[in-house]
Amino acid sequence: MHCTLLHVVGLSSTDIDTDALLKDVGSYAQVVRPFTLTFDRPAVGAVAVEISGWPRDPFAGIVDALA
């Protein structure tokens, strides 16, 4: 299972410095405080099955830092 933080329409893997992204994510993961993420019931979206995560605040902090 994975938790996708953000979908960016119109970008491909060639548009992104994957090595830098992985380095940034790894550095961030070392300093973020652990928390329990609880998933809501799944909803069928236009391109994926979407599941909201709670509590929103720590999850939103990760999204903000990595986006």
Domain membership flag for residue 8: no
Interval 54-66: pLDDT, tens: 787 887 887 788 7
Cα 59 to Cα 37: distance, rounded to the nearest angstrom: 8
Domain membership flag for residue 5: no
Q: By residue range, what is the domain housing residue 37?
A: 13-66
Domain membership flag for residue 1: no
Report the Cα–Cα distance between both ends of the chain, in Å, rounded. 21
Query: What backbone phi and psi angles, to 5 degrees, belong to 15?
Result: -85, -5
Domain membership flag for residue 2: no
Interval 27-42: pLDDT, tens: 988 998 888 888 888 8
Domain membership flag for residue 7: no
Domain membership flag for residue 6: no
Interval 40-49: pLDDT, tens: 888 888 877 7
pLDDT of residue 23: 93
Q: Are 44 and 35 in contact (CB under 8 A)?
A: no
The number of folded domains in the chain is: 1
Domain membership flag for residue 59: yes
